[in-house]
Amino acid sequence: MSSNSDKTTKAISPGNGPVAVTGASGYIGSWIVQDMLEQGYQVRACVRNALIPEKVDHLLAMKQAGYRGVLELHEADLQVAGSYDNAFKDCSAVIHTGAAVGYNKESPQEVYDGCFTEVGHVLDSAMKSGALKRFIFTSSFAAVGHPRPKGYVFTEKDWCGDNEEAYRGAWSEDNIAMNRDIAYAKAKARTEKMIYAAAANAGSFEAMAILPLHVVGPLMCANHDQGWSWQNCIKFMLRGKSYVKSKGGRMLWNMVDVRDTARAHRLCAESTLAGNGSRYILSAMDRSGEMFTYQLQAALAGLFPGIATVGGEEMSGDQPVQLTHDGPRAYALLAKQELGLDGYAIEDTLRATGDSYLQLNLLHT
């Protein structure tokens, strides 16, 4: 961690110049762009292809929305070295949210290797900015979680490689190529360590990470309904179906609003308490955001009485047929304490998620 004096000098504000966001067309990236525009930043929204209307029209609409900040759209590709050099020039902060997360059918090894390649390219371009103070990386709770007894509460001090003996070999290096979850978790954890080391070595900027868990909340466009995403699972439930992301649809949902996740990135860049190596779990604000699938089913049924059947796990009367592992438990406490994050109530988040699916006309079967 940096000294206190370093921390205060590297916190940014709109007066420090432009900021850049990678993955700006994506679910989390789009909300980061909007939040920063609301706060008066000059935002360089970096997208892979600015000519695909279904991916950029919602961003272009922000130009007409009367925000205090200014939006510029830049094209760049995470796989291409130097691609972000122009977009990042003179930027005080780079928020790296873009990623090939495996939704596009990448193999586990591609997810793992891709994370290092992509972060390396983005970091190299960011360090050429000439004005970089903060590098904020969207890591994942996957970089924190690992086998623990039920009810264990994870914090930012946990890393996915901890408690190795409990993995019984399942999380070995060999299995990176076999298992997308292992590849994703190990890549996120190791790239986090890579960016903290690079920043410590450079001394001129600080790197920090946001670690989201189950991100849900309103979609800005139909393209945010990516198959295999958590919001997509909610769509299946609202269509009266189960989903295949967890066995039998059974799991403990530990939910955070996409708008809170986005705001935390900016607050991190602006924080005088955060320093190099700071990491913030973005999960449930409190226990109300943690629900087993059957509890989420009941909550959605209460919020959307017009939907005849809400799907989820198999029930016997008002009880689930099978018990679910009680985990992962974790709360966005440090983000509240250090970043001053004030989160949405879970009912607001779930209502806004369903409403956006209805408005985008994506709930028909």
Ligand X SMILES: NC(=O)c1ccc[n+]([C@@H]2O[C@H](COP(=O)([O-])OP(=O)(O)OC[C@H]3O[C@@H](n4cnc5c(N)ncnc54)[C@H](OP(=O)(O)O)[C@@H]3O)[C@@H](O)[C@H]2O)c1
Residues 20-39: x where in contact with ligand X by CB under 6 A, - otherwise, as a string: ---x-xxxxx----------
In this chain, which residue has its C-beta nearest to ligand X? 26
Q: Does 267 bind ligand X (CB under 6 A)?
A: no
Q: Is-contact 281 211, C-beta < 8 A?
A: yes
Residues 115-154: x where in contact with ligand X by CB under 6 A, - otherwise, as a string: -----------------------x-x--------------
Can you read off the two tokens belonging to residue 248?
Answer: 């039998």
CB of 40 or CB of 159, closer to ligand X: 159
CB of 36 or CB of 320, closer to ligand X: 36
Which one of the spans 33-41, 124-132, 163-171, 208-216 is the region binding ligand X (CB under 6 A)? 208-216
Number of residues that bind ligand X (CB under 6 A): 26
User: Which of 38, 50, 70, 77 is close enough to bind ligand X by CB under 6 A?
Assistant: 77
Beta carbon of residue 335, minimum distance to ligand X (angstroms, whole number): 14
Q: Is-contact 226 103, C-beta < 8 A?
A: yes
Give me the amino acid identity at 35: D
Residues 47-66: x where in contact with ligand X by CB under 6 A, - otherwise, as a string: -x------x-----------
CB of 119 or CB of 274, closer to ligand X: 119
Which helix (H) or strand (E) element contains residue 207?
strand 206-212
| Nearest CA among 253, 360, 365, 353 for reference residue 308 | 365
Q: Does 215 bind ligand X (CB under 6 A)?
A: yes
- Longest Cα–Cα distance of the chain, Å, equals 62
CB of 320 or CB of 327, closer to ligand X: 327
Give me the amino acid identity at 326: D
User: Which of 2, 34, 92, 97 is close enough to bind ligand X by CB under 6 A?
Assistant: 97
Give me the amino acid identity at 38: E
Q: Does 78 bind ligand X (CB under 6 A)?
A: yes
Beta carbon of residue 317, minimum distance to ligand X (angstroms, whole number): 32
Per-residue 3-state assignment (H helix, E strand, C coil) for 144-166:
CCCCCCCCCEECCCCCCCCCHHH
Interaxial angle between packed helices 180-202 and 108-127, expressed in degrees from 0 to 180 and rounded to the nearest 10: 20
| Nearest CA among 187, 54, 192, 37 for reference residue 108 | 187
Distance CA 80, CA 274 (A): 31
Residue 224 neighbours by CB distance under 10 Å: 25
Q: Does 98 bind ligand X (CB under 6 A)?
A: yes
User: Which of 18, 69, 145, 212 is close enough to bind ligand X by CB under 6 A?
Assistant: 212
Q: Is-contact 1 34, C-beta < 8 A?
A: no
Q: Does 103 bind ligand X (CB under 6 A)?
A: yes
Pairing outcome for strands 319-320 and 315-316: antiparallel
Positions touching ligand X (CB under 6 A) are 23, 25-29, 48, 55, 77-79, 97-101, 103, 138, 140, 212, 214-215, 224, 226, 229-230
